[in-house]
Amino acid sequence: MKKLIIAGFAIATLGLTSCSEDDDAPIEQLANCTDGIQNGNETGVDCGGPCAPCDGGEVGGEVPVDEDLSGLLTEDFTLTNDVIWEINGKFVVGDGAVLTIEPGTIIKGAEGTGSLASALIVARGGQIMAEGTAEEPIVFTSINDDIELGQKQGSNLDENDRGLWGGVLILGRAPSSFEGDSEESQIEGIPADDEFGRYGGNDPEDNSGVFKYVSIRHGGALIGSGNEINGLTMGGVGNGTVIDHVEVVGNVDDGFEWFGGTVNSSNLVAFAGGDDALDIDQAYSGTITNALVIQGAESDHALEIDGPEGTFEDAFTIQDLTIIGDPNAPSGEIADFRDGAMGAINNVYVRGFNDVQDVEIDDEGSAANYTAGSLSFSAWELVLPEGVESVSAIFVDTTESTDFSSDATDFATAIEQDQETVGADLSVFGWTYASFRGAF
């Protein structure tokens, strides 16, 4: 690979990973980390991963680097589209730093599980300016992907290749609802002692940057038992942030997950995930507009919606959503509303599910919110599975405390395939990997 000199890439707590004799970048040389990123005054031994010092040097030494990315970014930096970049371990955009990614840039994540799973993390106060285009999308993928410069897809992996690296996490200072009414929490997928994993605050207009025309593929590496990284995790992200035209393909865990925050998200594609496609938690209160979910054989819920964890309450809106099911997915439900879910889900087109895959209200809190109108549904159109005679059979209240099933005839209509009048505008998704694969 081409070697680059990363001039002025000052990293307060960790150098980049690779060594060459002709490329230098100033860093503070700290080692003896066990989680893939240094957090303090480590000693220089037993690093065992991407934070290993190139020369065994001392604090303040200079370490040669190439295009590999790992550590804490403390100054503005640009990933150019003339080289393929590699993330090894955690690459963190720190408070006050801006990471710019040029259109057409390819970033590959190295293999690794547990604390050494590769991930890009935009910490609170950091910003990412990733503005791809339909002609030149930005691609995050696995080191095993044979995609080359100038290409939009490789040839050796497909949507069923999952867990080959971590994923992308964007964290902010927008309000979220946490247990005990704390103002902040630690994001899922990052060890509890890593300060860069904190999110939440009291600024609904917080700005984490721009994330536009980005495809995230083959991620979701395991970091612990039953704990994988989502394709795109948004924790306490404010509505000053732009999330638009983003695709997640073949992730082990959820495609998109919003942990609180206020960010609006538009033109999303979640394709063949291994868990939920769109997951909402902790009183997320933004609007998700024009989204496409394409389930795979390993997928779980298209929508998994949880409510607030503390006394702070707020509600989301989903507008213009198309859900394409996989009838062979053993747990591939349409939607699940739990833990006092609050929000509005409007203009939804659903097809491709079997006769036991349904939309469920699963707890008394969500049922009470449905009765009160703070959990609402409107303008759903469904292609009924074979053997299902009415939309009422699709909508189930497991608490049996509401008229959810009988009410379904008021907000949902059975239609024939390709006769929908609601759902996502699929014409805007021609740039995606899902489109290349003929998935819709």
Looking at the fold, whether 178 and 190 belong to one and the same domain comes out as yes
Looking at the fold, whether 63 and 78 belong to one and the same domain comes out as no
Indicate the residue type of 223.
Answer: I
Nearest to 121 by CA among 99, 150, 146: 99
Give the per-residue pLDDT at 194: 86
Share of the chain above pLDDT 90, in %: 79
- What average pLDDT does the segment 25-33 reach? 30
Give me the count of residues in the chain: 440
| CA pair distance 17, 68, nearest whole angstrom | 6
Give the per-residue pLDDT at 224: 63
H or E segment and range at residue 85: strand 85-93
Phi, psi of 294 (to 5 degrees): -120, 105
Q: What angle do CA 86, 92, 95 make, to 5 degrees?
A: 145
Higher pLDDT, 190 or 135: 135
Looking at the fold, whether 135 and 223 belong to one and the same domain comes out as yes
Which of the residue ranges 88-97, 145-154, 214-223, 267-276 would you say has the lowest mean pLDDT?
Answer: 214-223
Looking at the fold, whether 214 and 253 belong to one and the same domain comes out as yes
Give the per-residue pLDDT at 292: 99
- 190-211 per-position pLDDT tens digit: 878 888 999 999 999 999 999 9
Residue 354 predicted with pLDDT over 90: yes
Name the residue range of residue 40's domain: 1-67
Residue 389 makes CB contacts below 8 A (sequence gap 6+) with none
Token output for 347:
């203009």
- What average pLDDT does the segment 206-230 reach? 89
Which of the residue ranges 163-177, 210-224, 382-396 would you say has the lowest mean pLDDT?
Answer: 210-224
Looking at the fold, whether 94 and 107 belong to one and the same domain comes out as yes
Of 34, 67, 100, the one marking the end of a domain is: 67
Domains held by the chain: number: 2
C-alpha atoms less than 13 angstroms from C-alpha of 158 in its C-beta half-sphere: 7
Looking at the fold, whether 97 and 21 belong to one and the same domain comes out as no
- What average pLDDT does the segment 53-68 reach? 38
Give the per-residue pLDDT at 16: 39
SS3 per-residue string spanning 393-407: HCEEECCCCCCHHHH
Give the per-residue pLDDT at 331: 82
Residue 184 predicted with pLDDT over 60: yes
Of 45, 67, 89, the one marking the end of a domain is: 67
Give the per-residue pLDDT at 226: 62
Give the per-residue pLDDT at 141: 98
Q: What SS3 class is residue 362?
A: coil
Q: Are 336 and 342 in contact (CB under 8 A)?
A: no
Higher pLDDT, 339 or 35: 339
Looking at the fold, whether 262 and 382 belong to one and the same domain comes out as yes
Share of the chain above pLDDT 70, in %: 84
| Most confidently predicted of 48-52, 112-116, 350-354 | 350-354
Looking at the fold, whether 44 and 142 belong to one and the same domain comes out as no
Looking at the fold, whether 13 and 155 belong to one and the same domain comes out as no
- What average pLDDT does the segment 294-313 reach? 97
Q: Are strands 227-228 and 138-142 parallel, antiparallel or unpaired?
A: unpaired
Residue 329 predicted with pLDDT over 80: yes
| CA pair distance 217, 100, nearest whole angstrom | 20
H or E segment and range at residue 64: strand 62-64
In this prediction, residue 225 has a pLDDT band, given cuts at 50, 70 and 90, of: low
Q: How far is the CA of 174 from the CAs of 74, 94, 130, 283, in angstroms? A: 22, 17, 20, 11
Q: How far is the CA of 375 from the CAs of 34, 60, 115, 332, 345, in angstroms? A: 44, 55, 38, 22, 8
Residue 62 predicted with pLDDT over 80: no
- 243-295 per-position pLDDT tens digit: 999 999 999 999 999 999 999 999 999 999 999 999 999 999 999 999 999 99
Looking at the fold, whether 63 and 208 belong to one and the same domain comes out as no
Looking at the fold, whether 17 and 157 belong to one and the same domain comes out as no
| CA pair distance 207, 276, nearest whole angstrom | 26
Of 33, 67, 101, the one marking the end of a domain is: 67
Looking at the fold, whether 58 and 1 belong to one and the same domain comes out as yes
Q: In the predicted model, what is the mean pLDDT of the chain? A: 87
